[in-house]
Structure 1
Amino acid sequence: MPSLNGNQNGNKEDDFSGKKLKVLPTELLQRGGDAVKVDLQRNRLKQITGISQLTNLKELNLTRNEISDFPVEIRGLRQLEKLYMNQNNIKTIPENVFPSLEKLQFLKLSTNRLEKLPEDVNRCQDLTYLNLSNNCLKNLDPIVSLSHLKELYVERNQLTELPDLLFKNSSLTLFKANGNPLRKPPGEVCAGGLRDIQSYFSMLEANAKNFRTVKTMFLGTSMAGKSTLCRSLKEGCPVRVEEADRTVGIDISEVDWDGIRFFFWDFAGQEEYYITHHVFITAQAFVILAINLSSYNMDDQSFKDNVSFWIKNLQLKVPDSVVLLVGTHVDQCKDETEVNEKKKHINERVKAMLEMHTTNLELRRKNLEDDPSLNCEQINQIERLAEYKLKVLDFVPIDCTKNGDIDTLLTLIKKEVLNTEIFPNLEQTLPRCYYEVENDIQDLLEKDDIPEHGIVNQDVLLWKLKNRHATLDDEQLKLILQYLHRIGVIMWYKEIPELAGSVFVKPSFLISLFKTIVRHDLVQELNKISSAQLKSENALGIERKRWIKDYKEKASLSNVAIRILVRTELEKNYCITDEELIKEVVGTKKKEGSLLSLLKHFDVCLSTKHNSPLNPKANEFDPKKNWVASNPLVYEPDACLFPSYLSDNEQVEEKWESDNTEDLNIHVYFLPEIPYGFFHRLVIRTCSLYSPYWIGKDQCMLCSGNKRFLLKEGCDEDPFIEIGCKDLETSEDIQKAWRVIREIMRRLNTLTEQWQGLYQHVVSPCKAQGCEEFFEWNDWKEWLEDSGANKFNVGIEDKQTCRNGHQRRTELLFPKTPDA
């Protein structure tokens, strides 16, 4: 029997959600004109025959059903104001439906298979909210005249152009279009939101310039020959790179070939640098993966280290990218036969790897289809992942000592880049002023109007640019600077308060500062610190030994050491003696420098104090209040902790002690795998909530009040992150703990969204000894999004029983519903 909630005047809500319905229930149709709001989500409906009998219906929710043909009968619901049709399988919408829905204000059609919209959708002039995300739309022309539209979502479709008339709509306040192969405006413009798009169209003149730009990333293991490839391609002839001159961090360069502008990003291959790669690896990129054929062994480990590690990370981070496999060091192989055998081995393994990825997704989807009412959201996520197609081009062996091989590779790259099927959004339409501002910045650098290091005050840069562009105001110039930031020409982190006033017009300079701290030979650099440098920070030689010991054993680096290393880099390699600038970058004992602000913003490290004691009286987390640490970190903390360099979990395991059956415990599974460095980024984001914490290689314990929380990366057959809590004495303690877990899961979910190719599945494992069963969380995202009470749709039973018959209190498996 459905729940009927409402007042005594017949204004009732009919809730039939999650009933596994295949047809509309008779009791609903019998209500006729009395039905005002009907919830039919999470069922198995393919049709809704009889729905037109509900003549006074104002809200209809058909989310997560099995509807493939848009129900024409809906046109009989002339009083309808809200319609939810998201997460179905609708491919087309016929004409002559929307003209009858003149009162419709809210329409959600996201996550379907729509290829086009009916022309008469513009008859719904009262529409203020429209969600068309996750479809297959190629144009938005039918909706340009919806004059009252306030919110429009068209993410993850197949749009290449947006209609300019749409943005002359003064009512529009929110617009999102990421995940489309956009050329006009480019995706980097759309990333700035509605205001950037409106500004783009206002500046777009009739003779706008078309640009072809490719961000090219050179990846591969250490000594794979990335720098040799990069520099040889740039010069157009073989360039020998000595081992001592190999890349530290990332090198950036630019080259123009036949009107195509390439930005070359040469990534260092040592593992120590991998943790920073996520900062710079962006979508719509061309990846050249260098593989050292001379050292490549035709076995599983060699393929994993040299090839599959990189491809898997790209599948997770930028699953629509294009990868060119380039075999290097051909001249060091025995003969052509060896080269061909290794080429064949790599090609076959890559093909099998990509096919296995597709097969696993399909198998997971089929398994979930057994109960679509419970797993529709998971099915949709799997289908979204299946739509991503990482393109791996044919393997090319190269002898970098031969001019002919360099020419061959150069010709191949040009050919592939100009293939519109491979690079559909290579050509982008931009207002000429975008191009002119970029050129002006380079001109200012060349004329020394901007210091050689490229750090310039935002207001000063705007003033200099306005002198050259009288027609552009501050806001328009800022939008252009943000676009240049997104494509990697400059760096301007206006979202970081400490850096909002500084523009880095030479990204290479900023990245060189990363190199001083995140590097493979850091211990050697610490050993090089001279007595004079120590004295400049009032430090002693014995402290330097302690810094090295702490870094080796605890992965923490003294802030004093950081300041010395960065100051040395600025003075030695950039001849920077401006004391104010040095302090701005390296910081002081009282204030954090811009470099540390960046490293923390990108989840590379976090501030720490050594030997922080467990504080049982620490403030508990309350989601309704701003959390204040009982023992806050006041600058200066002792050091920065780099979790990715930790080697064991001894301290965490000692503090956590053993598990017990009264602990809260959930597992968040990841398909296909947990990305490299993901867990440590999660740790950094979570530890920002609490001052008492202990971190290990793949475990972390933190405290809220006297409750201990555990984060742990694990793997049975599938990789997962475990979240646990202990020291729970009452039901009130348990519900408070769930509030903290929700904040942790929110951070985890936000982080997951940065990896487009990831899928999550949440369960609570049975705690009975030896039992491998679990309890599924089917609506965990709704719980995360709920800003009010701890609403979670698990029923009100005191206990839940697993498939093996073990019982456990519901409140230890899920947060209870408010009326439980």
Structure 2
Amino acid sequence: KEEDFSGQKLRTLPSSLLDKGKDLVKVDLQRNRLRQVNGIAHLWNLVELNLSRNELVEFPLEIKDLGNLVKLYMNQNSIKIIPEEIFPSLKKLQFLKINTNRLTKLPSDLNRCQSLVYLNLSNNSLKDLQPLVGLRRLKELYVENNQLVELPRALFRASALAVLKVNGNALPEEVCAGGLKDLQSFYSMLDDSSCSVCTLKTMFLGATMAGKSTLCRSLREGEPVPVAEADRTVGIEICEVDQDGVRFLYWDFAGQEEYYITHHVFITPQAFVILAVDLSSFREKVGFWINNIQLKVPNSVVLLVGTHVDQCEVEGEMMKKKNDIQEKVQQMLLDRRESLQQQRKNLEELEDVSLFSEQMREIQRLEEYVLDLIPIDCTKSEDIVWLQNHIKDLVSDKETFPFMEQTLPQCYQQVESTIHELVSDGDVPRHIMNHDDLLEYLQNKHSELDHEKMRLILQYLHRIGIIMWYMEIPDLKDMVFIKPSFLISLFKLQAIVRHDLVSVLGSISSRELKSENALQVHRSRWINDFKSRATLSNVAIRILVRKELQQSGIDDQEMIEEIVGTKKKTGNLLTLVQHFDVCLPTKQNAPLNPEAQEFSPNRKWEASSPVVYDLEGGCLFPSGLTNNNQVQDQWGQDNLEDINVQVYFSPEIPHGFFHLVIRICSLYSTYWIGQNQCLFSCGSKRVLLREHLTEDGDQFIEIRGKNSDLQKMWDVIKVVMMRLARLVQQWRGLYQFVHSPCKQRGCSEYFEWRDWQDWLDQSGSEKFNVSEEKMTCRNGHTRRTELLFPVS
């Protein structure tokens, strides 16, 4: 009744299969090299057929003769077109997977396959789903990662439809993410007054003094606008520019590294990034910016603009630098593309690929555009006008900007106008509103919009940068910043974005100190802690932020406390910066005692000191860390017999990644932290983490532990590696390799962990998959296995 020919590298159907004819009801032919399936019609009694992961380019015509088919798998082939008159013959077909192919359109008679309940068309190039209208029994439909710009409204009238996934199309992202319910709500708002809207969030990025502000303001005015050094951007500046029917929302980001790590608070998907490159000096790391844009801004398009052309001594010098930058960028993109292709290949070769389908889709989404570098002399009007026209041509290209033009209900623009009026009238001078209050105000103006519809509109306005509403953060979902520039001004008060923080702390008055029951001696400690440990007391942060709020005209004490916090509750602003890893929470007053007793479920645990329960606490700002002295003093010397695990990353470790590692390992102390090292303590056990960059350009994080109690040390390292693996999943395109280096002094060989993920997935104390009592490296050096791999 059933035959399994999967994974046998077949190029044609075996005669032993065809000879069984009507006796077969299920055949598995996945993971072969079939380009055609001649003779498949002989198996006319088939109920289930699996042809996934083959090399089919054409949809087999003979399948129309399999009238008893209930399940059909055609996914992960290279099929470009499906002929007509196939699906009307498959009257019993209920389940169809044809995702991950090259389909550009569907056969018009697909809707005559009336028994279909499940249909997966994801990862193709479809632009129209009209042939699906009329599938009355369809319950699940997956069309993710296609080229859809709209959906047939009649599709939502199918009462049976319960699951609809459309992420990764040129549709409003916030609507797609909400699934069927949000899609139904969105399409119910579309009416005859709906219009096509072209709105593009444009982010100006680049190193400090690269000319971003000059470029941004010149494009806004249509002529050269020189910007003095003293007038350069601090934080982020926002403006709106309308050009030939396209609305550009310009976000000019400061280039100093201390500002960079706050950018992720404001970055949203589907953006146009103009990356300024100083051709007169070329000191900045272009690769650094592009890599982080690709990892953090999904569906982005990056335009490289070479600036300061007027400061190049001769034209030949400028062209030489332009070509040099372009060559480096192209090589970097080639390396990244090859790395992603290898990662996809690794996943495709696994036994059960379906378990990694989401990860594979994420890899495919990394096909962002990086456009050729364009040199511009911002002192010449003709160059500015030319760049304006060039940008206009770019955004009108639907292949490059498939998400740019979207059809939106008229009410979207009406709600946006109402919010602008609310701000301009001065009714809300603080530019912050409680979500419920804002909702009530808007619904009084637009009574036809219920709660769900209004939520979709606010999510859209957040994505394009009109408002900031972090609904995914539980502590912030009730607060809406109806003018983002106000939130940005608050960020300027955080230690991480204040180059003059020490002097600002020194200027805190006695009256301001007394408002928090603090003394001059406390202020001195704040200054010393920031200088030596890059930490700042939450009390100091509350004083600084409260002062800024009051200077901004906010006298609502309840609102101020909600933003800055109290001694018993963290403020919303601190919650926000910690959520986006701008800073890490830390203890201020009590150094840890590595000899303290460990927690045991069978023994009452008592704190070694009452200050462990310090409610004040503070924040660690990683970019303020300049050395590893404290870590080295606590750790001491490395020993050859230390447990040593090296986790390599491809294509690279993203900027700021190491300090996120510290955060996700927070079940242990994070007291000893340096520039690129940190020391965790768990009772008498200590684990050191170091970030490395080899001479060849490989990057890895070293996990090192003392081997006094091997089993317990491996237990600690296992938790660290588990959390590290979870963190990597948030950075699309990263891949891990785990090694244990040879312990012989001077030897460069290593032992690769081939099944380290299986070890992390295990519960209890099962053995790692290593059987030898001792292991020998390629140079002949032997060590006990438990010093290299975790074993019971």
**Normalization by structure 2: what TM-score?**
0.83
Which of 142, 155, 178 is residue 144 of structure 2 equivalent to? 155
**Structure 2 partner of 1:214:** 200
**Structure 1 partner of 2:559:** 581
User: Unaligned 5+ residue runs, structure 2?
Assistant: 602-606
**Structure 1 partner of 2:164:** 175
- Counterpart of 1:396 in structure 2: which amino acid? I
Shift of 1:403: 5.6
**DSSP 3-state at the match of 2:168:** coil
Shift of 1:84: 4.8
Is the alpha carbon distance of 1:729 and 1:270 closer, same or farther for their aligned partners in structure 2, counting shifts above 3 Å?
same
Whether the 8 Å contact between 2:35 and 2:55 is mirrored in structure 1 is yes
Superposition map of 1:238-387 within 5 A: 238-292=224-278, 296-297=280-281, 302=282, 304-305=284-285, 307-318=286-297, 321-329=300-308, 333=311, 338=313, 340-360=315-335, 374=349, 384=364, 387=367
Shift of 1:639: 0.6
Shift of 1:53: 7.7
**DSSP 3-state at the match of 1:255:** strand
Whether the 8 Å contact between 1:57 and 1:79 is mirrored in structure 2 is yes
- Counterpart of 1:639 in structure 2: which amino acid? G
Q: Structure 2: how far apart are the matches of 1:46 and 1:707?
A: 58
Whether the 8 Å contact between 2:643 and 2:788 is mirrored in structure 1 is no
Shift of 1:465: 1.3
The answer to whether structure 1 residue 744 and structure 2 residue 721 are counterparts is: no
Superposition map of 1:67-106 within 5 A: 67-70=56-59, 83-95=72-84, 98-99=87-88, 102=91, 104-106=93-95
CA deviation digits over 1:330-386, x for unaligned, max 9? Answer: 66x3xxx72633431343123312431354356658988999973798997898378
**Structure 1 partner of 2:446:** 469
CA deviation digits over 1:566-601, x for unaligned, max 9? Answer: 1121122x1222222211111111111110011111
Q: Structure 1: how far apart are the matches of 2:568 and 2:726?
A: 32
Shift of 1:407: 4.7
Shift of 1:487: 1.4
Is the alpha carbon distance of 1:765 and 1:779 closer, same or farther for their aligned partners in structure 2, counting shifts above 3 Å?
closer
**DSSP 3-state at the match of 1:394:** strand
Is the alpha carbon distance of 1:701 and 1:680 closer, same or farther for their aligned partners in structure 2, counting shifts above 3 Å?
same
What root-mean-square deviation, in Å, do the aligned CA atoms of Structure 1 and Structure 2 show?
4.6
**Structure 2 partner of 1:595:** 573
Shift of 1:484: 0.9
Whether the 8 Å contact between 1:652 and 1:694 is mirrored in structure 2 is yes
Shift of 1:455: 0.8
Q: Structure 2: how far apart are the matches of 1:809 and 1:62?
A: 47
Shift of 1:512: 1.0
**DSSP 3-state at the match of 1:167:** helix
The answer to whether structure 1 residue 557 and structure 2 residue 543 are counterparts is: no
**Structure 2 partner of 1:202:** 188
Which of 122, 143, 146 is residue 132 of structure 2 equivalent to? 143
**Structure 2 partner of 1:3:** none
Which of 543, 565, 580 is residue 522 of structure 2 equivalent to? 543
Q: Structure 1: how far apart are the matches of 2:714 and 2:657?
A: 28
Q: Structure 2: how far apart are the matches of 1:728 and 1:172?
A: 60
- Counterpart of 2:319 in structure 1: which amino acid? K
Q: Which of 734-743 and 161-170 deviates more?
A: 734-743
Q: Structure 2: how far apart are the matches of 1:75 and 1:801?
A: 58
- Counterpart of 1:453 in structure 2: which amino acid? R
**DSSP 3-state at the match of 2:275:** strand
Whether the 8 Å contact between 1:764 and 1:774 is mirrored in structure 2 is yes
Shift of 1:75: 5.9
Q: Structure 1: how far apart are the matches of 2:431 and 2:240?
A: 17
Is the alpha carbon distance of 1:341 and 1:147 closer, same or farther for their aligned partners in structure 2, counting shifts above 3 Å?
farther
Whether the 8 Å contact between 1:213 and 1:261 is mirrored in structure 2 is yes
Whether the 8 Å contact between 1:238 and 1:403 is mirrored in structure 2 is yes
Q: Structure 2: how far apart are the matches of 1:16 and 1:702?
A: 51
**Structure 2 partner of 1:625:** none
Shift of 1:199: 1.4
Is the alpha carbon distance of 1:316 and 1:365 closer, same or farther for their aligned partners in structure 2, counting shifts above 3 Å?
closer
Q: Structure 2: how far apart are the matches of 1:740 and 1:59?
A: 44
Which of 200, 214, 239 is residue 228 of structure 1 equivalent to? 214
Q: Which of 767-776 and 803-812 deviates more?
A: 803-812
User: Unaligned 5+ residue runs, structure 1?
Assistant: 1-9, 622-628
- Counterpart of 1:255 in structure 2: which amino acid? V
- Counterpart of 2:135 in structure 1: which amino acid? L
Q: Structure 2: how far apart are the matches of 1:530 and 1:482?
A: 41
**DSSP 3-state at the match of 1:496:** coil
**Normalization by structure 1: what TM-score?**
0.80
Q: Which of 149-158 and 265-274 deviates more?
A: 149-158
Which of 352, 356, 374 is residue 394 of structure 1 equivalent to? 374
Q: Which of 354-363 and 14-23 deviates more?
A: 14-23
Is the alpha carbon distance of 1:789 and 1:76 closer, same or farther for their aligned partners in structure 2, counting shifts above 3 Å?
farther
Q: Which of 469-478 and 219-228 deviates more?
A: 219-228
Is the alpha carbon distance of 1:46 and 1:365 closer, same or farther for their aligned partners in structure 2, counting shifts above 3 Å?
farther
**DSSP 3-state at the match of 2:472:** coil
User: Identity of paired residues, percent?
Assistant: 50
- Counterpart of 2:148 in structure 1: which amino acid? L
Whether the 8 Å contact between 2:534 and 2:625 is mirrored in structure 1 is yes
Q: Structure 2: how far apart are the matches of 1:705 and 1:104?
A: 61
**Structure 2 partner of 1:507:** 484
**Structure 2 partner of 1:696:** 674
Is the alpha carbon distance of 1:186 and 1:778 closer, same or farther for their aligned partners in structure 2, counting shifts above 3 Å?
farther
Which of 101, 105, 121 is residue 112 of structure 1 equivalent to? 101
Whether the 8 Å contact between 1:694 and 1:700 is mirrored in structure 2 is yes
Is the alpha carbon distance of 1:393 and 1:718 closer, same or farther for their aligned partners in structure 2, counting shifts above 3 Å?
closer
- Counterpart of 2:157 in structure 1: which amino acid? K
The answer to whether structure 1 residue 675 and structure 2 residue 654 are counterparts is: yes
CA deviation digits over 1:640-686, x for unaligned, max 9? Answer: 11223323344555449747678483624222x232223323432x1
Is the alpha carbon distance of 1:735 and 1:529 closer, same or farther for their aligned partners in structure 2, counting shifts above 3 Å?
closer
